[in-house]
Structure 1
Amino acid sequence: MIKYTLFLLIASSLFLHATSCILAKYHVYIASNLPTNSPPLQVHCSSKDDDLGYHTLAPGAEYQFSFCENPLATLFSCRFLWNGNDKGFHVYDAKWDHNRCIIGNRHGVCYYAVKPAGFFFTNKYPPKELDFLCGWDNNNKYFAC
């Protein structure tokens, strides 16, 4: 009986862990809304555990990644290089007091559009309206945008 109870406990734990991502999955989108004739946007995103690599986005292109949140520790930062500009900031931080990416209770979208004027944001995909987040105005590599 103890072995059976232990088996059920472990199986239930594994099942809950496997399905928890369905309830707390996030999608980050980065769109290059730069002029057609401009240089490509260079993007490098990473977390403490995952280096998502370097991506080159032509004007009009989009890059996206998804993850399951650890509510105490998930943090993704991206660095953006374009036309002599260099900017980096956290695109997702589980410790934000008011998580700008949340839709509903437990999942969300972080949509960033990169334009010559700077960075725009919405938590909807596909985006309908974008809010100005910050400009390219300094060369600090990582700070809150």
Structure 2
Amino acid sequence: MKISIRLLLTLSVAIVLFVVFMSMLRPAEPLNGGSEYEVRVVNGFTNNSSLPLVIWCASKDSELGGRALQEHDDFSWRLKTNIWGTTHFWCTMKWDQMRKSFDAFKASRDAYRCGTARKCSWLVKEDGFYFSNDEVNWQKDFPWY
């Protein structure tokens, strides 16, 4: 069976285009998972010096514990995603009578939105929770209630 050079060239170009297209759909990650991220939660309240923002964070595999954050204090940690893409950390926040639990990191949601620097930052303010991947541009994700 004789294959023409034109057919081989066409197939080669198609394969290269397919590989380039697929690489643009998802950032490259090791086959064994293991992408590292930094998660940071910042107290963005303007005046809570007498009443701290209390935070407690965990995953199904580890408990990060709790902290009492004064104005501009932060709580941060590094994590490594698992091979299944199911890494999930949640936090419970409490300030005065308000209490809110939220997903601080969820691989299925944050693998893309945390950006190429893989930084996932939260700013907790009186009116809600703000997300940023550069700590310059903040977007309100949800309110306390």
**TM-score of the superposition, structure 2-length normalised?**
0.70
SS of the residue 2:72 aligns to: coil
Q: Give the C-alpha shift of residue 98 in structure 1.
A: 6.7
For residue 128 of structure 1, the aligned residue among 105, 119, 136 is: 136
Contact kept, 8 Å, 2:57 with 2:63, in 1: the verdict is yes
Q: Which has the higher helix share?
A: 2
CA distance in 1, matches of 2:140, 2:110: 19
Correspondent of 2:88 among 48, 70, 75: 75
Q: Deviations for 1:28-56, whole angstroms, at most 9, x for unmatched residues?
A: 00000112345110001100110000111
Alpha-carbon distance in 2 for matches of 1:59, 1:32: 6
Aligned to 2:126: 116
- Stretches of structure 1 lacking an aligned partner (at least 5 in a row): 1-15, 138-145
Deviation at 1:108, TM superposition (A): 0.6
Q: Structure 2: how far apart are the matches of 1:100 and 1:45?
A: 20
Mapped to 1, the partners of 2:83 and 2:140 lie a distance apart of 26
Q: 1:35 aligns with which of 31, 42, 46?
A: 46
Q: 1:71–1:94: 8 Å Cα contact kept in structure 2?
A: no
Quote the RMSD (CA, aligned, Å).
Answer: 2.4
| CA–CA separation in structure 1 for the residues paired with 2:110 and 2:39 | 18
Identity of aligned residues (%): 28
Equivalent residue for 1:86, pick from 87, 92, 99: 99
Task: Name the CA distance, whole Å, in 1 between partners of 2:121 and 2:131.
Answer: 6
Cα pair distance change 1:128/1:53, threshold 3 Å: same
| Shift of residue 96, structure 1, vs aligned partner | 2.6
Q: Name the structure 2 match of 1:55.
A: 67
The separation in 1 between residues aligned to 2:110 and 2:100, in whole angstroms, is 23
What residue ranges of structure 2 are gaps of 5+ in the alignment?
Answer: 1-29
Given that 1:26 and 1:68 are in contact with CA atoms closer than 8 Å, whether structure 2 keeps it comes out as yes
